[in-house]
Structure 1
Amino acid sequence: MTTTQSETDELTATARAVFADHPAEASEGLPEALWSTLTELGLVQLTLSDQAGGSGGALADEAALLLVAGESAAPVPLAETELGGWLLAAAGLEVPTGVLAVAAGDGLSVAPADGGLAVRGQLSRVGWARHATRLVVLAEGPEGDVVLSVDAGAAEITEGVNLAGEARDGVRLDATVANWAPAPAGAREQLARRSALFRALLLAGAARRALERSVQYAGERIQFGRPIGKFQAVQQQLALAAAEVASGEAAARSAARIAAATDFAGDDAGFAVAVAKARTSEAAASIARIAHQVHGAIGFTLEHDLRLSTTRLWAWREEDGSDAHWHTVIGRRALAEGPDGLWPLLTRAS
């Protein structure tokens, strides 16, 4: 499905209004009122088809929503639930309502058993697992990859958090899973690409918010009789941060556009996603540093909301592949293209 720019703009405005009505707080819990509102508006499972229980939106809509969610520091598992719904639907499994946690279960033992598959092992740092109704796991089965839809109540969950206070839980499984199906071809690569793009979009949104708060504060904070934003050194740092924000968001938006054209398939989509996650992850450190330098000590206090953006920048830059991981992917692809193919590769992925 495709949508017009005006429709995407309308969705962006709606999302901003919803998040403004439910301002973010430093909490490890799930804001039930916000999640309920997002569900009622059809913003959860946005790109899932109507037949599978979603809203039938386009990837451009999801990209716009995640940019706003990152900008608002919204502590909700939009990306995780969208990814879990996609994986279940792609495998032909029912997509339940509520929060979904998704993981690639590389360390799991999966074997045939009466009534399904016997699944045993440990998963680490699973996003929002303690709040999930189902755990969606992509694992290696006896005859190839399988998608498991696991009742969260059947798992032993050890609570953990990332630097932003978002749930990143340990999950131990020792159960027979009846609700499973063979994974579609290329599911691992698809999941990695989708996860990286969604995280890049969240990073781009958080970076934009950190810059906006820094520019605002620089115009308000008076030092030596004038706003600190009038000092050349501060202006230079803010300009550097603005360039990092612009390049990261441009890379994320470009990757979303290329991925939408191919449904995340093909080398060009993979390269564009790698560039997006590498660029937004690399930019995150510089933007967070500059934001805190501009704010000074007040930016580190619990009373100031800057930390809601910068802690997410620090946490998300390492999740779904760090910049080092994705730069390695980019380097290998560039080497594979050779000197004659490098320029066409760069121009196709822009």
Structure 2
Amino acid sequence: MSEVREMAEQVFADAWDVEATGLDADLWKTLEQTGLARLTLPEEAGGSGGTFADWVAVATAAGQYAARVPLVETELAAWLLHAAGLEVPTGPLSVAVDEGSDTLHRVPWGRAVGGVVVPAGDRVSLVDPASAQVTEGTNVAEEPRDTLVGARVVAEGTAPSTVAVEFPLRAALGRSLLLAGAARAALAMSVRYATERVQFGRPIAKLQAIQQSLALAGAEVAAAEAASAAAAGEAQRVGFPEAALAVAAAKARCGEAAGEVARISHQVHGAIGFTREHSLRLATTRLWAWRDEDGSESRWNRLVGARAVEAGPGGLWALLTGTP
């Protein structure tokens, strides 16, 4: 296990809390102190200068332990600000989509962050959420997804033209890693429950139907982790937007895995898995929520299909394998 992965898993495991909601300020402080909050941002911009391999370990662990912090959003926001030549502020950040008005919809962690970054073409703006009228909302995992009206712009800059293409890809990659982590957590809980739950004199893990279901869930988790890690590796190797196909395939595959793993996990747990007191909901509600955030399977599968059609019969193998 790499040092980064070991540290990340320890940090997030220590913050695990079944009952709490909202921003975990203590965890965020720890992430800042350990350098995990802005992992891939260059050191000269206030980051840690980490690689995408490091990012795989940290983001996956955050998903696995249901971290109540805007980790992926801050990483994205910091990258956008740096690309536009703007200073990256300390504290948690978020990102929002510019819809051509003074209203920003479903801003992740909008009420809890110190700044929201809004890209629009090659323009990047940093707005102050404290100056906005905030209508609080959540996704199904109870993570803040707020509406901000009239937020004041505090900084603005121009980024390279590639940012408009790269931004959704980076967002999808981060979400894929979170999904892989949450799927891993749901599987681990299901395996543990199946070995502990005794029915008719023996653990339900001894039942063939349960074994087959857990095996299928295990395959889905392995596929999600492999696809997301491969996409991160491709991004490290060739950069964005060249890694678009790998990222699209990863987000689509992780979304598909999310549905299967959540379904199987609740089937194994039975009614107890749906209770608020049970920790399984921390994983499965995130699987359901994150599956549709930063692009659904259909959106990213369309990109994969378009690339395959564009390559044609003669170029499909090279497209899939990355060989000339």
TM-score range, shorter chain: over 0.9
Report the CA distance between 1:183 and its aligned residue. 2.5
CA distance in 1, matches of 2:148, 2:18: 26
Q: Using a 3 Å threshold, how does the CA distance of structure 1 residues 316 and 26 change in structure 2: closer, same or farther? A: farther
Report the CA distance between 1:178 and its aligned residue. 5.1
**Cα distance per residue 1:183-230 (max 9 Å; x no partner):** 321111111000000000000000011001101111111011111010
Aligned to 2:13: 20
Match of 1:149, SS?
A: strand
Aligned to 2:128: 151
Counterpart of 1:284 (choices 258, 268, 272) is: 258
Q: Tell me whether 1:50 sits opposite 2:43 in the alignment.
A: yes
**Cα distance per residue 1:222-265 (max 9 Å; x no partner):** 01111101000111111111111111110000000000112223
Q: Tell me whether 1:274 sits opposite 2:248 in the alignment.
A: yes
For 1:18, give the aligned amino acid: V
User: Does the CA-based 8 Å contact 1:26-1:308 persist in structure 2?
Assistant: no
Aligned to 2:63: 70
Match of 1:137, SS?
A: strand
Q: Tell me whether 1:230 sits opposite 2:223 in the alignment.
A: no
- Matched residues, number: 323
Report the CA distance between 1:153 and its aligned residue. 2.0
Aligned to 1:248: 224
Report the CA distance between 1:289 and its aligned residue. 0.4
Aligned to 1:166: 143
Give the alignment's TM-score, normalised by structure 1.
Answer: 0.90
Match of 1:68, SS?
A: helix
Match of 2:292, SS?
A: coil
Report the CA distance between 1:46 and its aligned residue. 0.8
Aligned to 1:136: 117
Aligned to 2:100: 108
Match of 1:30, SS?
A: coil
**Cα distance per residue 1:44-89 (max 9 Å; x no partner):** 0111111111111111111110011111111111000000000000
Match of 2:179, SS?
A: helix
For 1:252, give the aligned amino acid: S
Match of 2:43, SS?
A: coil
User: Does the CA-based 8 Å contact 1:138-1:183 persist in structure 2?
Assistant: no
CA distance in 2, matches of 1:320, 1:265: 16
User: Does the CA-based 8 Å contact 1:28-1:161 persist in structure 2?
Assistant: no
Q: Tell me whether 1:334 sits opposite 2:311 in the alignment.
A: no
Greater share of strand residues, 1 or 2?
1
Report the CA distance between 1:26 and its aligned residue. 4.5
Backbone CA RMSD of aligned residues: 1.3
Match of 1:55, SS?
A: coil
Q: Using a 3 Å threshold, how does the CA distance of structure 1 residues 178 and 208 change in structure 2: closer, same or farther? A: closer
Aligned to 1:122: 103
Q: Using a 3 Å threshold, how does the CA distance of structure 1 residues 26 and 278 change in structure 2: closer, same or farther? A: farther
For 1:342, give the aligned amino acid: L
Give the alignment's TM-score, normalised by structure 2.
Answer: 0.97
Q: Tell me whether 1:99 sits opposite 2:92 in the alignment.
A: yes
Unaligned residue ranges in structure 2 (runs of 5+): none
Unaligned residue ranges in structure 1 (runs of 5+): 1-5, 110-120
CA distance in 2, matches of 1:193, 1:257: 14
Q: Using a 3 Å threshold, how does the CA distance of structure 1 residues 178 and 41 change in structure 2: closer, same or farther? A: closer
Report the CA distance between 1:298 and its aligned residue. 0.8
For 2:130, give the aligned amino acid: G
Counterpart of 2:3 (choices 2, 6, 10) is: 10
Counterpart of 1:322 (choices 275, 284, 296) is: 296
